[in-house]
Amino acid sequence: MHGAQPILSLKAVRKMFGPHAAVDSIDLDIAEGEFFTIVGPSGSGKTTMLRMLAGMDTPTSGDILLKGERINDVPANKRPTCMVFQSLALFPHRTVGQNIEFPLKIRGEAPERRKSRALQLMDLLRLPQSYYARNVMKCSGGERQRVALARALAYDPQILFFDEPLSAIDYKLRKTLEKELKDIHRETKKTFVYITHSLEEAMVMSDRIGVMRAGRLVQVGTPQQIYSTPNSRFVSEFVGDVNVIPVSLGSDGLLHSSLRGEKLKAPGVPAGFTTGHLVIRPEYMKFLSGPGEADNVLGGRLYNEYALGSRIQYQVRVGESVFIVEKLRQQAFAGRLDDDVFIGWDSRDAILVTD
Ligand code: ATP
């Protein structure tokens, strides 16, 4: 945050629906110009949080500050912010140009100025200028999404809120739009607050990510921090495939696991740690030729392999437990299914979490 005043601050924000806290005691600062993504599973409170930030709902308790001013009760249309919805909410019988110019029209801007701004925004969003007079319903889903974003930008808001805008779009186009959105964020330098249930999407675009679980913000950090140093089993599993081993700390300083009684070497053990989980990402797991080649080595059986484009995942069974090992395609493992194999990892590549 570099000491600058945050554009948005949440102070102990809570939203109750009857006895149920949909959003519970959230403290958060969002910096001006930041791309901040709130991510969490269905029902974790993302939409409720965004609705309060956008002024469509008021907190039951706590405060929301915009540049230091309390805005709890300021309605959406009185805030210098704009929401971009998943359901596009465009005017279906109007042209692309008319849709984009709508905010400028209600502000009373002259037609020539409106048109030149609309064409500028279409340029920014890589919509061909020839689309200006096209009926918006003749545009594809991805194009309509861009029109909606151009219209939101025409309001010239300080903050844009995005409610899962890409979830209804097919995978390939979504991947393209994720990158475009990040480019647009760069070019407009506006504050973007985005919600999604896809951490993968959040990773691509965001400066920082807040992970929600059952109404609480359980971790806030850069994509790199969320990926490499998850603070809980929940966050580690939310990021993608992981190997998770239940462990307890023995008096010998080793981690005692349920894996056939294996004792594992610990990475830095947090003060007060007694029981929890050891988390190892599949790309840090190695195939080895025998014991001693890594801090922790387990013998198992190669059960299956899965091609994932540029990577290959291997499933290795160790007793009753299943491990995932991942390799780049050019470093594919030469073993055959049902081979006895050794897998392992170095302590520094594992993360110990307390839950
Ligand atoms: P999704 O990804 O499915 O949209 P979400 O993370 O956005 O989920 P919310 O829609 O914020 O979650 O809902 C959080 C919790 O609050 C849920 O348990 C939901 O059932 C409840 N909830 C949301 N809106 C209301 C409402 N108007 N009245 C009662 N309960 C509500």
Residue with tokens 């299914």: 337
If asked whether residues 14 and 74 sit together in one domain, one would say: yes
Establish whether residue 232 lines the binding site of ligand 1, counting it when its CB lies within 6 angstroms of any ligand atom.
Answer: no
Query: Is residue 235 in some structural domain?
Result: no
Question: In this structure, are residues 238 and 199 in contact, taking their beta carbons and an 8 Å threshold?
Answer: yes
Query: Is residue 45 in some structural domain?
Result: yes
Task: Give the amino acid at 302.
Answer: L
Query: Is residue 340 in some structural domain?
Result: yes
Q: How far is the CA of 48 from the centre of ligand 1 (A)?
A: 6
If asked whether residues 93 and 124 sit together in one domain, one would say: yes
Residue 304 three-state SS:
strand
Name which of 95-99, 149-153, 211-215, 323-327 the model is least confident about: 149-153
Q: Which of 228, 261, 281 is the last residue of a domain?
A: 228
Residue from 16, 46, 48, 216 to probe ligand 1 pocket by mutation (most atoms less than 8 Å from CB):
48
> Number of folded domains in the chain?
2
pTM for this model (two decimals): 0.87
If asked whether residues 18 and 144 sit together in one domain, one would say: yes
Element (H, E) at 100: helix 96-106
Task: Please say if the pLDDT value at position 2 is more than 60.
Answer: no
| Number of Cβ atoms within 10 Å of the Cβ of 76 | 15
Query: Is residue 233 in some structural domain?
Result: no
- Measuring from atom 31 of ligand 1, which residue has the nearest CA? 17
Give tens-digit pLDDT for 31-64: 999 999 999 999 999 999 999 999 999 999 999 9
pLDDT band of 86, cuts 50, 70, 90: low
The pLDDT value given to residue 1: 46
Residue with tokens 């050891």: 278
Give tens-digit pLDDT for 152-199: 899 889 999 998 877 777 788 788 888 888 999 999 999 999 999 888
- CA-based nearest residue to 247, from 226, 225, 219, 267: 267
Query: Is residue 1 in some structural domain?
Result: no
The pLDDT value given to residue 5: 87
If asked whether residues 126 and 265 sit together in one domain, one would say: no
Range(s) of the domain holding residue 116: 6-228
CA 281 to chain CA centroid, nearest Å: 18
If asked whether residues 89 and 31 sit together in one domain, one would say: yes
Q: Beta strand 69-70 with 61-66: parallel, antiparallel or unpaired?
A: antiparallel
Establish whether residue 246 lines the binding site of ligand 1, counting it when its CB lies within 6 angstroms of any ligand atom.
Answer: no
